[in-house]
Amino acid sequence: MQKEETFLESKTLKPFPNKSRVYKSVDFSSSKVRNFALFAVNSHFKNTPNYPINRKLIQYFAVFKEVNSRWNYVNDPKGQEYFASGSESLLYFSGDCDDHAILMCAAIKSIGGSMRLIHTGRHMYPELLLGTEKELETAMYLISNELFKDISKGRTIYFHRDEKGKIWLNLDYTAHYPGGPFLGEEVLSVLDLQQPNSTIQSAFFQ
């Protein structure tokens, strides 16, 4: 795969809308959320070669597959912003982009992943912390050669890079594979569920 990067200009991000409500909704310590994540990791990709070495990434991608294969987009009540907790969304796997992003973050955090939320004004989506270039290369290999090879064939892997150089992978419901395309809207704010208020750069591999 050829490697190509583009970067956004540095800017001051805006405060994350409804930050406390959203943060509280990511209920990764819920037993329902944890049990769902365990179901997902036992349902997908267990026979992947070198599973013990790449276990964490494979399990995070198993959660992505389970959530996105079942998600049904449903609007919030007209004129209101409703944030369902992760455990609440497990009942019907339905809701808007906020609800999907919250569930994805809660489920992956419940099995040890580091997540954050991106807000664009009209959209919210989750990102998984990969960290280093080496971890990105591992993720790219797993996505394109083992776990999502039919869906991602010839496609681009999209991610953001933060001010510390760490790489965050797009896990949006609009993407059919981890690292799928962004919606193309400008990033306005970031809620890092470990370290809030980080600045980002964007980049992609092809």
What's residue 34's pLDDT? 98
Q: Average pLDDT, stretch 6-33?
A: 83
Q: How far is CA 128 from CA 68, 147, 172, 184, 191, in A?
A: 15, 17, 10, 18, 12
End-to-end, the C-alpha distance of the chain in Å comes to 6
Taking only the tens place, the pLDDT of each residue in 122-133 is 899 999 999 999
pTM of the predicted protein model: 0.92
Q: In whole angstroms, what is the distance from residue 117 CA to residue 170 CA?
A: 10
Q: Which residues pair with residue 161 across a beta bridge?
A: 167, 201
DSSP-derived pairing of the beta strands 124-131 and 167-170: antiparallel
Q: In whole angstroms, what is the distance from residue 147 CA to residue 163 CA?
A: 30
The domains found in the chain, sorted by start residue, are 19-205 (3.10.620)
What's residue 116's pLDDT? 94
Taking only the tens place, the pLDDT of each residue in 17-28 is 999 999 999 999
Q: How far is CA 68 from CA 1, 97, 142, in A?
A: 25, 11, 18
Six-digit token string for 37: 């994540």
| Residue 2 three-state SS | coil
Is residue 190 within 8 A of residue 116, CB to CB? The reply is yes
What's residue 30's pLDDT? 98
Work out the mean pLDDT of the chain and round it to a whole number: 89
Beta carbons within 10 angstroms of residue 3's beta carbon: 13
* pLDDT of 1 higher than 60: no
78 versus 99: which is more confidently predicted? 99
The dihedral sign for the CA sequence 86, 91, 96, 97 = positive
Taking only the tens place, the pLDDT of each residue in 33-53 is 999 999 999 999 999 999 999
